């Protein structure tokens, strides 16, 4: 058995958990559960980041000590994860003594490598990011991520010689670790590579302007920069810096495969600073940094500082934990951003859970129960289409989940469920039983369908553990403690086992009634939370009217012929470079690869996208437009984007990242 270490970022305790935090934690939980399922020895870590300026500020505002803020909020995170069935093995708080020891040890090693020096430092600082920004990256003097004014800070800091590590980092990005790329997905790896190849500056790793932090060993009056402090949690939770190295030896490379799961906002810290700190300290780097996109609301990252938070509480009370876990995984293409909406949640719930898995399971179990007096069939069947579909699905699911392609893995489960549905529809056992009676053929048909569903339930275990266990129970199996890879073998459905009586696993959601009720409830808009910092955790997303159904195309609109439409040459392009056009609020200059060629396209999307969001992104362009000059730049084509109602903000058309650039769109 080999070992696998998976971590979430540690969450700032100046905020209560929202759906973005939940997403990261659920994805890490799915990874941990999948690896355990596959037989790996797993350590899964999460925790809270409790030092730094943000927490100090909140404490000052509330007239309490920073540790009280941390003590108030850390249990909220811990409690939510418990409620969500998150299977973490440890929960670290950076105010714990074990963590302080780890930080002191890594600094001792970095100091021994002569990578620290003292120097004056000044610049624009975003307190929410806890990071300095070059002036050119600010948008109207505000942080490009949080939209909050940056503050000019000047102080004497301890610096880390980050600039030394550029070549070793580039080598790491080039070679990867154990045959896998150091950063996943590839678009994010490219982003990190291009950042580092432009040259790295040394990094200030202490603060004198705040007190709430770990005292910097050897530099009185300085506290450790919150990111050097926070990143070290991944080691201190393994006992690094303590007398016992057992966990560290087992779960840190080279003995283990160590994966840090992070949002794209903190990729730079994990893929550049962290490996550089480790290299300096003479320690192995993690195996992989896996970076996901953001949940957005109204085109903006969901975050407390933006004030558009979505708290999970109401969706949980309406639909339960598993539907939310399923939705989070199913509706965000891993690595890209996704918009959170109640409609998307409900549509997904009805399509996959109520209709898909739920309906097929109840039909199959009900029919078997009727035919065999409340028991599973007594004759098995080993050669049938369901078995073929199950074996195909299992292979596809394992390959996809091993490579963090969760949506592909979920597709494999969906395919199996619909194959079972199709199989039952074509065999019509309910008709045959009336004319032929309960023949061996009827046994075989039901066995095949139920065994297929058992395998689907086993594949569901890492994603929706409670649903998986409930399905297995309904299929006549004893409530399982855990399921493992061995349970994917065909033929394990017990024969003549009692079937419990069944109510629908996922009752269909009445979408109209759901929204009607929300509208009558007249909840506060999501913005409320921004105005009232002490608002309760259960702020629901704003009510959204279901879209009115329109006829296909209003009669008055002029129509074009297919020939006219075909004159448009629409192509998939990949953005390889992007920069804002100076002196323009809206325009973005992009280098877009279309097949073999790279062309310049200028588009009015800079109010909604930052250059780094675009690099590596696939989009659709009109490739045969006549060139046009925009702010003196020749644009060869146009990117396609929806224009959002109300604001007119652009929202780029999404393309499956697997589609090669240059592919024709028609
Ligand atoms: N404390 C740092 C991390 C230190 S790790 C050594 C931090 N904390 S955070 O609470 O602000 O955010 C942590 C993570 O929450 C993000 O990286 C991301 O994984 C997740 N998310 C926060 N908002 C999010 C969305 N709107 N969407 C998806 N995930 C996001 O940064």
Residue 49 alpha carbon, nearest atom of ligand 1: 1
Weakest-pLDDT range from 79-88, 313-322, 350-359:
313-322
Q: Is 152 helix (H, G, I), strand (E, B) or coil?
A: strand
Between 598 and 354, whose confidence is greater? 354
Alpha carbon distance 342, 339 (integer Å): 10
What's the average model confidence in pLDDT over 383-405? 97
Alpha carbon distance 425, 29 (integer Å): 36
Angle (deg, nearest 10), helices 19-37 and 66-83? 50
Whether pLDDT at 86 is above 60 = yes
What's the average model confidence in pLDDT over 183-211? 95
pLDDT digit string (tens) for 99-133?
999 999 999 999 999 999 999 888 888 888 878 88
Measured by CA distance, the residue closest to atom 18 of ligand 1 is 263
Q: Is 200 helix (H, G, I), strand (E, B) or coil?
A: coil
pLDDT at 399: 98
| Nearest partner of 185 among 403, 451, 500, judged by Cα | 403
657 pLDDT tier (thresholds 50, 70, 90): low
Alpha carbon distance 505, 240 (integer Å): 46
pLDDT at 560: 66
Alpha carbon distance 13, 229 (integer Å): 15
Alpha carbon distance 124, 140 (integer Å): 12
37 pLDDT tier (thresholds 50, 70, 90): very high
Cα–Cα separations (whole angstroms), residue 243 to 90, 112, 240: 18, 20, 8
pLDDT at 554: 34
Counting Cβ atoms within 10 Å, is residue 165 exposed (0-12), middle (13-18) or buried (19+)? buried
Measured by CA distance, the residue closest to atom 23 of ligand 1 is 20
Residue 265 alpha carbon, nearest atom of ligand 1: 17
Ligand 1 centroid, distance to 639 Cα (angstroms): 30
Residue 12 alpha carbon, nearest atom of ligand 1: 10
| Nearest partner of 335 among 290, 392, 283, 384, judged by Cα | 290
Q: What percent of the chain lies above the pLDDT cut of 90?
A: 65
Whether pLDDT at 150 is above 70 = yes
pLDDT at 113: 98
Q: Which of 237, 265, 299 to mutate to test the pocket of ligand 1 (most atoms within 8 A of CB)?
A: 265
Under 8 Å CB-to-CB from 657, ≥6 apart: which residues? 185, 187, 333, 335, 336, 618
pLDDT digit string (tens) for 582-637?
888 888 888 887 876 778 889 889 888 887 778 778 899 999 887 887 888 888 89
Ligand 1 centroid, distance to 310 Cα (angstroms): 14
Ligand 1 centroid, distance to 11 Cα (angstroms): 6
pLDDT at 503: 86
pLDDT at 444: 98
563 pLDDT tier (thresholds 50, 70, 90): low
Per-position DSSP letters for 240-265, written without gaps between them = TTSS--HHHHHHSTTSEEEEEEEEGG
pLDDT at 596: 67
pLDDT at 526: 39
Residue 486: asked if its preceding bond is cis (omega within 30°), the reply is no
Residue 230 alpha carbon, nearest atom of ligand 1: 6
Backbone dihedral region for residue 497 (phi beyond 0: left; psi -120 to 50: alpha; all else: beta) = beta
Backbone dihedral region for residue 147 (phi beyond 0: left; psi -120 to 50: alpha; all else: beta) = left
Residues, the chain: 666
Q: Is 498 helix (H, G, I), strand (E, B) or coil?
A: strand
What's the average model confidence in pLDDT over 463-489? 94
Alpha carbon distance 224, 104 (integer Å): 9
Do the bridges between strand 90-93 and strand 295-297 make them parallel or antiparallel, or are there none, so unpaired? Answer: unpaired
Residue spans of alpha helices (H) in 539-607: 562-566
pLDDT digit string (tens) for 276-314?
999 999 999 999 999 999 998 867 777 777 777 777 777
Q: Is 3 helix (H, G, I), strand (E, B) or coil?
A: strand
Under 8 Å CB-to-CB from 127, ≥6 apart: which residues? 53, 54, 57, 148, 151
pLDDT at 652: 85
Measured by CA distance, the residue closest to atom 15 of ligand 1 is 21
Alpha carbon distance 54, 525 (integer Å): 25
Alpha carbon distance 421, 503 (integer Å): 19
Backbone dihedral region for residue 637 (phi beyond 0: left; psi -120 to 50: alpha; all else: beta) = left
Q: Which of 16, 24, 52 to mutate to test the pocket of ligand 1 (most atoms within 8 A of CB)?
A: 24
Tell me how crowded residue 123 is: count the other CB atoms within 10 A of its CB: 15
Whether pLDDT at 345 is above 50 = yes
What's the token pair of residue 27? 């994805």
CA dihedral 174, 177, 180, 185 (to 10 degrees): -70
Q: Is the distance from CB of 264 to CB of 124 less than 8 angstroms?
A: no
Q: Is 153 helix (H, G, I), strand (E, B) or coil?
A: strand
pLDDT at 226: 96
Counting Cβ atoms within 10 Å, is residue 374 exposed (0-12), middle (13-18) or buried (19+)? middle
What's the token pair of residue 434? 């009336």
Between 658 and 406, whose confidence is greater? 406
Cα–Cα separations (whole angstroms), residue 323 to 333, 400, 432, 452: 17, 21, 35, 21
Under 8 Å CB-to-CB from 467, ≥6 apart: which residues? 322, 353, 357, 457, 460, 505
Ligand 1 centroid, distance to 131 Cα (angstroms): 14
pLDDT at 530: 32
Ligand 1 centroid, distance to 511 Cα (angstroms): 31
Ligand 1 centroid, distance to 263 Cα (angstroms): 6
Pocket-forming residues, ligand 1, beta carbon under 6 Å: 9-12, 20-21, 23-24, 49, 230-231, 233, 262-263, 265-266, 294-295, 301-303
| Nearest partner of 354 among 342, 367, 363, 365, judged by Cα | 363
437 pLDDT tier (thresholds 50, 70, 90): very high
647 pLDDT tier (thresholds 50, 70, 90): low
Which contiguous run of DSSP H or E holds residue 580? strand 570-580
| Nearest partner of 504 among 536, 478, 474, 538, judged by Cα | 474
Average pLDDT score over the chain: 88
Weakest-pLDDT range from 75-79, 118-122, 267-271, 632-636:
632-636
The phi and psi torsions of 24 (rounded to 5 degrees) equal -55, -45
Ligand 1 centroid, distance to 9 Cα (angstroms): 6
Residue 233 alpha carbon, nearest atom of ligand 1: 6
Measured by CA distance, the residue closest to atom 16 of ligand 1 is 263
pLDDT at 559: 67
Q: Is the distance from CB of 354 to CB of 345 less than 8 angstroms?
A: no
Weakest-pLDDT range from 188-197, 425-434, 624-633, 642-651:
642-651
Measured by CA distance, the residue closest to atom 22 of ligand 1 is 20
pLDDT at 578: 84
Backbone dihedral region for residue 332 (phi beyond 0: left; psi -120 to 50: alpha; all else: beta) = beta
Alpha carbon distance 216, 218 (integer Å): 6
Q: Is 284 helix (H, G, I), strand (E, B) or coil?
A: coil
Alpha carbon distance 610, 475 (integer Å): 50
pLDDT at 537: 26
Q: Is the distance from CB of 423 to CB of 447 less than 8 angstroms?
A: no
Weakest-pLDDT range from 43-57, 402-416, 489-503, 644-658:
644-658
Alpha carbon distance 43, 391 (integer Å): 29
* Residues designated as active site: 18, 21, 126, 129, 143, 146, 301, 304
Cα–Cα separations (whole angstroms), residue 288 to 110, 112, 306, 400: 22, 27, 30, 17
Q: Is 359 helix (H, G, I), strand (E, B) or coil?
A: helix
Whether pLDDT at 62 is above 60 = yes
pLDDT digit string (tens) for 242-257?
999 999 999 999 999 9
Weakest-pLDDT range from 206-210, 301-305, 384-388:
301-305
Under 8 Å CB-to-CB from 522, ≥6 apart: which residues? 543
Weakest-pLDDT range from 222-231, 324-333, 397-406, 638-647:
638-647
User: CA angle, corner 276, sides to 275 and 277, nearest 5?
Assistant: 90
Whether pLDDT at 175 is above 60 = yes
pLDDT at 122: 84
Tell me how crowded residue 628 is: count the other CB atoms within 10 A of its CB: 12
């Amino acid at each position: 058995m080999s070992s696998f270490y998976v971590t979430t970022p540690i969450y700032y305790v100046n905020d209560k958990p929202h759906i973005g935090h939940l997403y990261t934690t659920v994805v890490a939980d799915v990874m941990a559960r999948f690896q355990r399922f596959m037989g790996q020895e797993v350590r899964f870590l999460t925790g809270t980041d409790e030092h730094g300026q943000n927490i100090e500020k909140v404490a000052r505002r509330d007239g309490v000590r920073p540790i009280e803020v941390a003590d108030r909020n850390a249990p909220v995170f811990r409690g939510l994860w418990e409620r969500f069935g998150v299977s973490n093995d440890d929960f670290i708080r950076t105010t714990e003594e074990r963590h302080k020891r780890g930080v002191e040890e890594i600094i001792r090693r970095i100091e021994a490598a002569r990578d620290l020096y003292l120097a004056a430092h000044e610049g624009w600082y975003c307190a929410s990011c806890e990071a300095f920004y070059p002036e050119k990256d600010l948008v109207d003097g505000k942080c490009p991520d949080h939209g909050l004014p940056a503050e000019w800070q000047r102080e004497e800091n301890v610096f880390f010689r980050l600039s030394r590590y550029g070549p070793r980092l580039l080598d790491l990005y080039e070679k990867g670790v154990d045959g896998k790329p150091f950063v996943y997905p590839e678009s994010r790896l490219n982003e990190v590579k291009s950042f580092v190849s432009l040259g790295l500056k040394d990094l200030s790793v202490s603060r004198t302007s705040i007190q709430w932090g770990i005292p910097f060993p050897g530099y009185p009056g300085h506290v450790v920069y919150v990111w050097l402090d926070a990143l070290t949690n991944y080691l201190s939770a393994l006992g690094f810096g303590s007398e016992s190295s057992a966990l560290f030896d087992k779960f840190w490379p080279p003995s283990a495969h160590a994966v840090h799961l992070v949002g794209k906002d903190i990729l730079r810290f994990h893929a550049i600073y962290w490996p550089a700190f480790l290299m300096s300290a003479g320690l192995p780097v993690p195996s992989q940094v896996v970076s996901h996109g953001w949940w957005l609301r109204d085109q903006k990252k969901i975050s407390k500082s933006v004030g558009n938070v979505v708290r999970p509480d109401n969706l949980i009370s309406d639909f339960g934990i598993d539907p939310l876990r399923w939705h989070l995984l199913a509706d965000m293409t891993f690595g890209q951003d996704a918009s959170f909406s109640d409609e998307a949640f409900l549509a997904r719930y009805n399509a996959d859970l109520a209709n898909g898995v739920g309906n097929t399971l109840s039909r199959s179990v009900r029919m078997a129960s009727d035919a065999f007096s409340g028991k599973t069939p007594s004759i098995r069947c080993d050669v049938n289409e369901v078995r073929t579909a199950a074996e195909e699905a299992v292979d596809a699911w394992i390959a996809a989940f091993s490579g963090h392609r969760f949506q592909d893995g979920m597709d494999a489960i969906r395919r199996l469920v619909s194959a079972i549905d199709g199989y039952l529809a074509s065999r019509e056992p309910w008709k045959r039983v009336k004319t032929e009676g309960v023949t061996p053929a009827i046994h075989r048909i039901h066995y095949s369908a139920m065994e297929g569903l058992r395998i689907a339930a086993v594949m569901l275990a890492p994603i929706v553990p409670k649903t998986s266990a409930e399905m297995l129970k309904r299929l006549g199996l004893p409530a399982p403690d855990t399921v493992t890879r061995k349970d994917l073998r065909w033929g394990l459905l017990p024969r003549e086992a009692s079937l419990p009586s069944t109510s629908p696993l996922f009752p269909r959601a009445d979408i109209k009634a759901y929204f009607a009720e929300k509208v009558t409830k007249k909840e506060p808009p999501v913005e409320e939370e921004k105005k009232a910092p002490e608002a309760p955790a259960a702020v629901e997303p704003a009510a959204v009217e279901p879209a009115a159904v329109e006829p296909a195309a209003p009669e008055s609109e002029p129509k074009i012929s297919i020939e006219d439409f075909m004159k448009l040459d629409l192509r998939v392009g990949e953005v390889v470079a992007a920069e804002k056009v100076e002196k323009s609020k809206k325009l973005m200059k992009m280098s877009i690869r279309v097949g073999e060629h790279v062309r310049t396209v200028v588009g009015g999307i800079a109010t909604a996208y930052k250059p780094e969001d675009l690099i590596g992104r696939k989009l659709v362009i009109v490739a045969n437009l006549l060139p046009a000059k925009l702010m003196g730049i020749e644009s060869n084509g146009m990117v396609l984007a929806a224009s959002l109602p109300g604001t007119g903000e652009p929202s780029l058309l999404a393309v499956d990242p697997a589609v090669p650039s240059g592919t024709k769109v028609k």
